């Protein structure tokens, strides 16, 4: 995502331009969107994850379905979510032994940086004790726990337990009951800064961003960039400058937010990574973290975005299209919008995808169906929201190949019916996930096949 110069200005101050507001929107989209989801989890919950206060886990009881209106939510694992507020001081995290079963606890800071992982790939599947440390904590830490230093006071733990279907739920629930968070001290969390209710709705984004810039200082490399946003009012402390703003500034902010959102949406759809047979190889969409590397992360050039401006654009697109997604080395993601001819995928047609060999993974793989433009799971009569190597009853060819059928209507052919992934009636976007992918996924020696229209319509 590039930041071109603009010529729409307020008064004579060239820094207060629509383009400056666009850049600020792109810069601030990820934390504002992210923290809105944090607030959802601690106040109303999301889908089968009921609300839970800060510093406690909310455990989903089932695999995600259409009622779980969270962007690109997966249907492979059972979620255990915890929103942390480390204003209370360090927290002890106890993790159970999963008997070699896949799980991951992903740690995401307020800026959406993935800064730590605990799980099968990162730390193994034995029981463990960790202490989660606030930024700049000066005190003593328990000697029987591994320290995980957190980059912001607000942190999301996105826990995923592999689940092979309804018959496997009991095992997962036993593990959920064993994971725990315990504060070292008794103190009430500060929570999220609240925007001034007098700020007009069209400026609430900017008010939240102003507050979050103060509450959650960025990496040192971004401080100078933030200073450039001062003419927009984003660095003002105390009372909000957006309650009764200069009309010209308000106009710039509203237009900047609209253009900024359109720019993020376009970047999301066009993608910054290579496209193979229509599949966007989004293996590096979460590589924008350049500063905070704790347990389980890989701090090496191939997993970092050197161009900071590009990294900020990728961060915004990643938040919009797949908030709280993992680094590619934990789970590689590849989404697709078009068929083999380049036409948008839509439920008006029937499609097929044939794997000569399955995606190479250490854990498992799946393709999940999402509606557009919100990337939610799609309701369907057989309640199948994803398909993959753990789906029961799949029919393989004599040569080991696997052909999946994607359609809104149920196939009449029994093999196509067994291998059917239902689609919505309108536009859709499938997403491939490969958990603990093999290096062949990244070096290009494994190639995803195209999605081919097979109904002859159109």
The count of other CB atoms within 10 Å of the CB of residue 25 is: 24
Q: What share of the chain in percent tops pLDDT 90? A: 86
The answer to whether residues 58 and 417 touch, using CB atoms and an 8 Å cutoff, is no
pLDDT bracket for residue 9 (50, 70, 90): very low
Under 8 Å CB-to-CB from 73, ≥6 apart: which residues? 47, 64, 376, 377
Report the C-alpha dihedral over residues 254, 256, 259, 261, rounded to 10 degrees.
-80
Under 8 Å CB-to-CB from 324, ≥6 apart: which residues? 37, 106, 108, 112, 156, 158
Taking only the tens place, the pLDDT of each residue in 29-86 is 999 999 999 999 999 998 889 999 999 999 999 888 998 888 889 999 999 999 999 9
Under 8 Å CB-to-CB from 12, ≥6 apart: which residues? none
User: Using CA atoms, how far apart are residues 433 and 197, in angstroms rounded to an integer?
Assistant: 41
Taking only the tens place, the pLDDT of each residue in 126-175 is 999 999 999 999 999 999 999 999 999 999 999 999 998 888 999 999 99
Query: Is pLDDT above 70 for 11?
Result: no
Question: Measured between alpha carbons, how far apart are the two ends of the chain, in Å?
Answer: 34
pLDDT bracket for residue 343 (50, 70, 90): very high
The answer to whether residues 329 and 43 touch, using CB atoms and an 8 Å cutoff, is no
Taking only the tens place, the pLDDT of each residue in 181-219 is 999 998 999 999 999 999 999 999 999 999 999 999 999
Contacts 24+ apart (CB under 8 A), 208-213: 208/32, 208/35, 208/36, 209/24, 209/28, 209/31, 209/32, 209/234, 210/234, 210/235, 210/236, 210/240, 210/241, 210/242, 212/28, 212/31, 212/32, 212/35, 212/110, 213/28
**Residues 342-364 as b or e (16 or more Cβ within 10 Å = b):** eeebbbbbbbbbebeebbebebb
Specify the pTM. 0.88
């Amino acid at each position: 995502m590039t930041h071109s110069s603009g010529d729409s200005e307020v008064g004579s101050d060239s820094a207060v331009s629509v383009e400056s507001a666009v850049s600020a929107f792109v810069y601030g989209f990820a934390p504002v969107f992210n923290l809105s989801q944090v607030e959802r989890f601690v106040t109303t919950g999301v889908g089968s994850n009921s609300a839970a206060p800060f510093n406690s886990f909310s455990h989903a009881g089932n695999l995600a379905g259409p009622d779980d209106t969270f962007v690109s939510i997966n249907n492979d694992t059972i979620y255990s979510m915890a929103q942390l507020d480390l204003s209370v001081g360090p927290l002890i995290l106890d993790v159970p032994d999963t008997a070699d079963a896949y799980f991951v606890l992903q740690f995401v800071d307020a800026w959406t940086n993935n800064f730590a992982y605990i799980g099968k790939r990162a730390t193994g599947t034995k029981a463990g004790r960790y202490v989660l440390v606030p930024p700049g904590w000066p005190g003593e830490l328990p000697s029987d726990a591994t320290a995980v230093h957190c980059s912001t006071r607000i942190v999301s733990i996105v826990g995923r337990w592999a689940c092979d279907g309804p018959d496997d739920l009991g095992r997962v629930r036993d593990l959920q009951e064993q994971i725990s968070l315990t504060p070292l001290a008794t103190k009430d969390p500060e929570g999220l800064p609240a925007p001034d209710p007098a700020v007009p709705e069209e400026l609430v984004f900017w008010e939240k961003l102003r507050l979050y810039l103060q509450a959650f200082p960025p990496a040192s490399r971004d401080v100078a960039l933030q200073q450039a946003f001062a003419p927009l009012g984003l660095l003002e402390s105390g009372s909000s400058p957006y309650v009764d703003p200069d009309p010209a500034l308000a106009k710039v902010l509203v237009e900047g937010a609209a253009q900024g959102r359109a720019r993020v949406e376009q970047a999301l759809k066009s993608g910054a990574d290579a496209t193979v047979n229509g599949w966007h190889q989004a293996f590096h969409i979460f590589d924008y973290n350049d500063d905070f590397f704790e347990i389980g992360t890989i701090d090496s050039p191939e997993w970092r975005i050197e161009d900071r401006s590009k990294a900020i654009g990728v961060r915004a697109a990643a938040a919009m299209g797949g908030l709280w997604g993992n680094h590619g080395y934990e789970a590689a993601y590849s989404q697709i919008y078009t068929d083999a001819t380049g036409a948008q995928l839509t439920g008006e047609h029937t499609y097929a995808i044939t794997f000569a060999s399955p995606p190479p993974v250490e854990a498992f793989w799946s393709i999940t169906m999402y509606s557009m433009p919100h990337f939610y799971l799609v309701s369907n009569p057989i309640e199948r929201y994803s398909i993959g190597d753990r789906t029961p009853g799949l029919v393989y060819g004599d040569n080991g190949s696997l052909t999946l059928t994607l359609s809104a209507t149920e196939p009449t052919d029994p093999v196509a019916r067994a291998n059917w992934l239902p689609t919505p009636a309108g536009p859709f976007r499938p997403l491939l996930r490969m958990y603990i992918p093999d290096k062949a996924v990244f070096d290009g020696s494994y190639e995803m096949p195209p999605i081919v229209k097979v109904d002859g319509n159109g």
